Amino acid sequence: MIRLSAQERIRIRTNRFYVYAYLNPDGSPYYIGKGTGRRAAAMHTADAKVPADPSLILTLANGLDEETAHFLEGRLIAQYGRMAAGTGTLLNVRPGRPAATGVRFASTSKLKSAIAHTGEQPQAIPVILGYCRISTDGEDQDNAFQAQVDRLASAGCDQIISERESGRKADREGLAEVMALVTSGKVKELVVTRIDRLGRDAAQTDTLLALCDLQQVRIRALDGGVIETASPQGFLLARVMTTMAEVESRMLSQRLRRNFDVYRAQGRHLRRRLPFGYDRGDGTKLVPHSENFTLALRVLDELREKGSFTRVAYSLPSWCPWTPAANSLQAWFCNPVIRGHIGHNLDKSSGKGWNQRWGEIYYDQHPPLISEGDWQELAAVLKRPRNNFKSTEVQYGLSGLMRCASCGHRLQRNSSAGVAWWRCRHRLCTSRGGAREDRILPIVVDACVAEAKRLAAALAAPPSDDPALTGMLQELEQMEKIAARNPGNRAMAAAVAEQRQQIERLRRTEQPAIDPAAYQALQDPHFFAGATAEEQRVMFQAVLRSVSVGPGGHPIEPQPRS
């Protein structure tokens, strides 16, 4: 017999539960329960009595663990209803305790039909079961899927279970259905095209092989012959095949990750769906679409004119073939791709709106629809709340920045005797922050000037190499030495050139292109004083995250974004 681990032996010893039903003479069930040993023949004084005729005791499923037995018992009780709850005819006092599990019994319909019949318990005839699986969608995969089904049908399978799931996924519904049928003793042979169709997880596949050996179910691979685990040689061969299937899957995942890293460094667009206004060019680079690029520019003009995603989304169907909803239009506008950048590894929890966070952004990879500066100005307009009953013009440069240091809510502005104040008006705040505007504004301007000087110094300093870039430089040095010793090796010369290009791309994507003259202007305090309220607000929000004000104006702390 197969050698089982201690964990597998414990699991097999616990698979001793079964689910049973007591039937009326007309074949309808009046009690459903679960248990072990002679539980079905015992007296149930609390709920129901055992039928005098043993043929009216029907075993629905056996070889189950306690959790699965609880699940099936509760499912059948809920299906037929309890007399105590007024939902059915069962004499069960309790509704059962369904387990929190993802097990799916494909044979429930067969159990239901078995309960409907009278007489002796029906005996299932073991069948030849076929199982086929593919991992992804696509025309090629569809052809491979149909080829598996045809081969299994030609091999004499009475029933074929198929699914589209990754072999590394543990909770596959199709595989759970196979294991349930094998456990119930309804399968005499399990047929697959290859052993890796059972899964790419060696531990999970070994568990299925042990279960089939325990239930005396033969496993046959059309491309590998019969898989037997009873002998030591067969056990070793089965373990080798399942381990190699998992190793192959892991190697494929590793190659794909490495290729994606190279493609990202090359500025390729890796998503299937192209952003509106662009087409796919050579090397999967984004290029302007022959027709939609002009329409995308008009969409941006409409956003400038109307200042609202909702209004533009309503007007698009009248002139544009692209008709997104307002939230989809906002996601398109916030995507760095329209500014000429490529973003990768989006944090899905951040959403697709203003708060989206990207793991990597590669700058200046294709022609932009809008420059970075114009996008910032338009974003400030679109973020402004719309109000149809009063003007939405920006009146104060500090609007949206002021926060109470005690409760964190926004401060409100008011004037008293010609003096402007920012105060917290929140009803639950016990230490309301506030200060005069003429005290806050110089501190905010000084913080912006200091941040501008810091950024200007960072631009002037030589860029520091990150660990990834340092490693690539070391690899380049070694490759150059090898190429110097082999001057006639064209493959090595091409590899050196490619490595140099990747290093240049990585250096170019370390930080966005920033205009030093802009930061030079920001270092002048008079530059802020001469700006309009709207210009002040745009500049303040570009540099500062918020301004925290304590009670009585102590302290006043600007919070930089960087």
Pairing of strands 419-423, 434-436: antiparallel
| CA angle in degrees (0–180, nearest 5) for 67-213-108 | 40
Q: Which residue has 């299925």 as its token pair?
A: 208
**Taking residues 475-479, what's their average pLDDT?**
80
Percent of the chain with pLDDT over 90: 8
H helices within 269-391, ranges in order?
292-306, 309-315, 326-334, 372-383
Distance of CA 469 to the CA centre of its chain: 29
pLDDT tens for 495-531 read: 777 777 777 766 655 454 445 555 555 666 677 767 7
pLDDT tens for 76-121 read: 888 788 887 778 888 887 776 543 333 333 344 444 444 444 333 4
pLDDT value of position 33:
87
3-state SS, one letter per residue, for 28-85: CEEEEEEECCCHHHCCCCCCCCCCCCHHHEEEEEEEECHHHHHHHHHHHHHHHCECCC
In the DSSP assignment, the letter for residue 411 is P
Nearest to 342, CA basis, from 260, 256, 270? 270
Dist CA 312 CA 332 (whole Å): 13
Question: Sign (positive/negative) of CA torsion 441, 543, 302, 355?
Answer: negative
Percent of the chain with pLDDT over 70: 79
6-116 CATH: 3.40.1440
Report the catalytic residues: 135
Check: CATH 3.90.1750.20 for 278-383? yes
Dist CA 73 CA 12 (whole Å): 20
pLDDT tens for 144-179 read: 888 888 889 888 888 888 888 888 787 788 888 888
Domain map (residue ranges) of the chain: 6-116, 127-251, 278-383, 404-460+516-560, 467-508
In the DSSP assignment, the letter for residue 428 is T
Check: CATH 3.40.710.10 for 127-251? no
Residue 61 has pLDDT above 60, yes or no: yes
Task: Please tell me whether residue 361 adopts helix, strand or coil conformation.
Answer: strand
Confidence of residue 8 (pLDDT cuts 50, 70, 90): very low
pLDDT value of position 11:
47
